Amino acid sequence: MGSNMVFAQSMMKMAKCFLKNYSTMVRNTQIYKSSLSLGLSLILSFVALAQIPNDYGYLDYKEKLPKEAFVQIELVSEDVFDIGKDGLDFYYQFSHKILCLNKRAIGLKKRSVGYDEFFPITDIDATLYYPVKGKYKKEKVKDFIDQAVIKNEISFYDNYREKQFKYENIREGAVVELNVRRKVTDEHLLSSRTFSRDLFIEKEVYRARVHKDIDMGFFEYNMDSSDVVKRVYEDGDYKIYEWRLDKAEIKTIYGQDKYEDHFVPQVVPYLRSVKNEDGEKEYFKDLDGLYNWYSSLISQVNTEKDSSIKALAASITDGIDEETEKVKAVYEWVQSNIKYIAFGDGYGGFIPRDPDVIYDRKFGDCKDMSCLTVNLLASLGIESHFTWVGTNSIALNYTDVPSPAVDNHMIVTYYDDKGKLYYMDATDPNLKFGRPAYSIQGREVLIALDESNFRLDTAEIIPAEVNLAYEKIDLELDGNTLKGVGENWYCGYFAEDLHANHEGISDQDAKDEFVNGVLAKGSNKFQVGDYEYKWDEESKDTIKLKYDFSIEDYVNRVDDKVYVNLNLSEELNQLKIREKQNTPYFMDYKHTVENIFELDLQEGYVIDYVPEDVKSSTDLLEYEITYQKSEHHITYHLTLKVKAIRIERDRIKDWNDQVDELISELNRTIKLISK
């Protein structure tokens, strides 16, 4: 008799004994019914446990990981880079087994596997092993539903579909097994392989099997503390690269999901070259190889100047003489008149559509809007450049690895006669001419100069002084209510963000609520009265808000003493990064906050206490708070600069310590005496 069944019988005996003794103890008492229910629940738990065999280690894992829902028993990913009779034969195989440890197993019932025409599924097999009366029963999934899936994000292609299926009898103790094979239809497009640690991992392997005539590159990053072991060995005509993770404990990542690429261990495969009868065909040996492929894609655009494109360019720039102003006018026309829709269809996700098609449709993705901009300017005899870039959610740069994995976006760049570089990303209708989107600050940009030449540059990081939130408020006391009249200026990325959100709301009541939220200060009793919102369409760089407001019960009075905190900006108290963060922390952009709040002291008040001026400055954060007082006024002046857009893990404590000091100062109050 197996140890499994011995364990089961032992549990049953214990349960029966428990019920006999327990029932005698509680019989004829008022709690008999509830106690018996408890006993039955325990029996059911024992019985359920006894009915789950230990074939896949359920009992062992249940004891070791009592709070976990799943265990990754096995996960094997294999890339095969081979040469067949018809040329390159690349495919990807994936298999995993997951053991369910509790009732949350139901979360694995509905599953899906994604694919597109570059990585079509050639074989898929899904099997469930579920416990029934102490044994495992096998159930193969028969029905796979093919479903198109729409994803809203910046991307070079989005021709994405899923194979959706169900594990009908999923339950605690069950094991799901999935085997998938995908063909790689374009050798330029290879996927990264990641090692996550959100489950206990018994075994995880990434293996690449490379034919002797193929030269592959493998770029590894975030591997320093990953426990992944690498080995390389020969197997006949193949070289095997293998990365393996065994018996890996759960390693919880506390970070921003958007930036997981910056901290998850990964291997990026890329094709360097292939030997053939003529010698060698080069692919991505270096950045020249990547650019040559990109150049071949944009060369497929029909650049014959359509008469409508020429006429449009002429009308947009009519009356404008200076070249840079013509470029600005064309860019802003595309911003305003072509709707951005992130979509792709096969190579349409990489190759821009012809400019006349984009103009007729009045919509397009980032490549299409870039293509129309470049061709409108070309019809005016102005040179501009297709430019590839990866947004800051991507960790890699072109100098790390020459691979399409580095980028996910296209913009246009232009050099004026003095060599100044202007960025044009028409996908954002509110982005100022010449300014990079904040999502590409500090990123390398690959600029197409001509068919075979390019320039590698780095998008500037906009200084904190440009992205300004400025508030000037005149305050007065009305009993326990604080009243004010304010004028706010938002500049740079602050203005861009705010206006995009404001214009995205059509209902006026909702807009009023949004503005109230933007201006909110002091407490949840803050209420805006009248306000005036003005966006500077010409500069696309400034929002001006005039308003009046009141905050009931904000002023604290104790006898003749009156306490008022002149720091009204509660959002500054939210600068602290959670202490559990164990990855770098990312800011959208550097910025400056300046608050000038002047309290008018009517007759009847005497200033008793004003906090000391303070200032602090590091390479991460800088702030200064001053108080100026006169007989009838107290002016509170705060200037704060966030000076970094990435805070490394070992600097988070430094940031938080400085923010704690700031919060302490922000909580200080002035004290008045009421005469």
CB distance 554 to 481 below 8 Å: yes
What per-residue confidence (pLDDT) applies to 25?
A: 37
How does pLDDT run across 192-240, given as a tens digit for each residue? 999 988 889 999 999 999 999 999 999 999 988 778 999 999 999 999 9
429 vs 342: CA distance, rounded Å: 14
pLDDT greater than 50 at residue 42:
no
CB distance 484 to 548 below 8 Å: yes
In this structure, how many other beta carbons lie within 10 angstroms of the beta carbon of residue 199?
A: 19
User: 268: closest CA among 457, 72, 76, 79?
Assistant: 79
How does pLDDT run across 402-442, given as a tens digit for each residue? 999 999 999 999 999 999 999 999 999 999 999 999 999 99
517 vs 428: CA distance, rounded Å: 24
Helices 366-379/307-316 angle, 10° precision: 80
**In this predicted structure, which of 29-38, 191-200, 330-339, 347-356 has the lowest mean pLDDT?**
29-38
Strands 591-600 and 468-478: parallel
CB distance 12 to 47 below 8 Å: yes
pLDDT greater than 90 at residue 303:
no
**In this predicted structure, which of 29-38, 101-110, 162-171, 370-379 has the lowest mean pLDDT?**
29-38
Within 479-525, strands assigned E span 481-491
How does pLDDT run across 639-659, given as a tens digit for each residue? 999 999 999 999 999 999 999
> Across residues 587-606, what is the average pLDDT?
93
pLDDT greater than 60 at residue 286:
yes
DSSP assignment of 368-427 equals: HHHHHHHHHHHHTT---EEEEE--TT----TTT--SGGG--EEEEEEE-TT--EEEE-TT
pLDDT greater than 60 at residue 382:
yes
521 vs 172: CA distance, rounded Å: 50
pLDDT greater than 70 at residue 23:
no
Each domain of the chain, given as residue ranges in start order, spans 3-50, 70-279, 298-458, 468-674
Distances (CA, A) of 376 to 92, 150, 364, 584: 42, 31, 15, 41
253 vs 264: CA distance, rounded Å: 9
Q: Fold for domain 468-674?
A: Jelly Rolls (2.60.120)
Q: What is the pTM of this model?
A: 0.87
DSSP conformation class of 522: S
pLDDT greater than 70 at residue 24:
no
Amino acid type, 515 = V
> Across residues 131-138, what is the average pLDDT?
95
Task: Name the more confident of 157 and 483.
Answer: 483
Q: Which residues contact 156 (CB under 8 A, 6 or more apart)?
A: 344, 349, 350, 367, 404, 407, 408, 409, 410
Q: Which two tokens stand for residue 321?
A: 């003489």
Sheet-wide strand order for 175-184: 135-140, 121-132, 175-184, 87-100, 70-84, 200-211, 238-248, 229-235
Q: Fold for domain 298-458?
A: C8orf32 fold (3.10.620)
249 vs 64: CA distance, rounded Å: 11
Helices 323-337/366-379 angle, 10° precision: 140
HSE-CB of 648 using CA atoms within 13 angstroms: 3
Distances (CA, A) of 255 to 252, 258, 589, 643, 656: 9, 9, 18, 20, 16
144 vs 163: CA distance, rounded Å: 6
Q: Is 134 exposed, middle or buried (0-12, 13-18, 19+ CB in 10 A)?
A: middle
pLDDT greater than 80 at residue 448:
yes
**In this predicted structure, which of 305-314, 634-643, 659-668 has the lowest mean pLDDT?**
305-314
> Across residues 47-73, what is the average pLDDT?
86
Cα four-point dihedral sign 290, 293, 295, 301 = negative
What per-residue confidence (pLDDT) applies to 45?
A: 44
Which architecture characterizes domain 70-279 according to CATH?
A: Sandwich (2.60)
Q: Which two tokens stand for residue 150?
A: 């729409």
What per-residue confidence (pLDDT) applies to 342?
A: 79
- In whole angstroms, what separates CA 613 from the centre of its chain? 39
CB distance 673 to 608 below 8 Å: yes
User: 11: closest CA among 84, 62, 71?
Assistant: 62
User: 533: closest CA among 474, 485, 490?
Assistant: 490
What per-residue confidence (pLDDT) applies to 224?
A: 81
| H or E element in which residue 181 lies | strand 175-184
374 vs 387: CA distance, rounded Å: 10
Q: Report the SS3 class of residue 652.
A: helix
Q: Which two tokens stand for residue 275?
A: 């030997």
CB distance 220 to 269 below 8 Å: no
CB distance 461 to 448 below 8 Å: no
Confidence of residue 344 (pLDDT cuts 50, 70, 90): low
Confidence of residue 47 (pLDDT cuts 50, 70, 90): very low
HSE-CB of 252 using CA atoms within 13 angstroms: 4
In this structure, how many other beta carbons lie within 10 angstroms of the beta carbon of residue 628?
A: 13
User: 410: closest CA among 393, 441, 428, 386?
Assistant: 386
pLDDT greater than 50 at residue 469:
yes
What per-residue confidence (pLDDT) applies to 257?
A: 87
> Across residues 445-459, what is the average pLDDT?
97
What per-residue confidence (pLDDT) applies to 29?
A: 39
Q: Which two tokens stand for residue 522?
A: 């002091």
Q: Which two tokens stand for residue 91?
A: 């495919």
What per-residue confidence (pLDDT) applies to 198?
A: 84
675 vs 672: CA distance, rounded Å: 9
CB distance 264 to 393 below 8 Å: no
Strands 200-211 and 70-84: parallel
Distances (CA, A) of 3 to 6, 487, 671: 5, 77, 76
CB distance 273 to 215 below 8 Å: yes
- In whole angstroms, what separates CA 49 from the centre of its chain? 41
Average pLDDT over all residues of the chain: 89
Confidence of residue 158 (pLDDT cuts 50, 70, 90): low
> Torsion angle of alpha carbons 437, 442, 444, 447, nearest 10°?
40
Q: Do domains 298-458 and 468-674 have the same CATH topology?
A: no
pLDDT greater than 60 at residue 38:
no
Q: Report the SS3 class of residue 104.
A: helix
271 vs 214: CA distance, rounded Å: 8
